[in-house]
Amino acid sequence: MPSESCNVVVLLSGSGSNLQALIDSTRAAPGPARICAVIANRADAYGLQRAQAAGIPTAVLEHPGFEGREAFDAALAELIDGFSPDLVVLAGFMRILSAGFVRHYQGRLLNIHPSLLPKYKGLHTHRRALEAGDAEHGCSVHFVTEELDGGPLVVQAVLPVEPDDTVESLAQRVHHHEHQIYPLAVRWFAEGRLRLGAEGALLDAQPLPACGHLIRS
């Protein structure tokens, strides 16, 4: 990875609020991370407008018309690689990625998930946390591996579940924390502090615990 800059490609499917948090973070505290492209699999994704407003190149690659997941992912990888990325960031990219795609970007592919992994992989995480009566909930940044929402954890934000929380109120509070920990993890990677080792995630050359770096509120 170049020491002076880290080219970041962001993949998204929707509103792009985590993209906006990354844009705001790089403007507020400039560092080596440089968002060099935003790619969406939906032409109507609002995140594309956020990127264009920030002067970031955008591209759209829609999956209908491809013969299967592998064909789409191969075209997506070719598009991404055209921007010479050091890091690929999933920011609400609503596609299950093929094993070949994940292996291609091993160690340079990050995702954020709205639960305290390994709890509640997949969808409807806030509802599931409320139905389980959990005292705590939160969000997780992790390296992406072939296991869905199962890669080594980098950082988790933990927040209390309030007695009067609804799915909507809990989701809103979790989003706020997502917008804090995702830019943090990207900055760590861009600065060369974070990497994926044979045994898991390493921060400053030290293994992170299984739960990642915890931030409590």
| Residue-wise pLDDT tens digits, 6-45 | 999 999 999 999 999 999 999 999 999 999 999 999 999 9
Contact 37, 11 (CB under 8 A): no
pLDDT in tens, 125-148: 999 999 999 999 999 999 999 998
Residue 177 bears catalytic tag: no
pLDDT in tens, 77-97: 999 999 999 999 999 999 999
pLDDT confidence of 65, banded at 50, 70, 90? confident
Side by side, the strands of the sheet bearing 213-216 are 58-60, 33-40, 6-12, 87-90, 109-113, 136-143, 153-160, 213-216
pLDDT in tens, 95-126: 999 999 999 999 999 999 999 999 999 999 99
Catalytic option among 113, 126, 177, 213: 113
Q: Which of 66, 49, 67 is nearest to 58 (CA)?
A: 49
* pLDDT, average across residues 186-190: 98
pLDDT of amino acid 217? 87
pLDDT of amino acid 4? 78
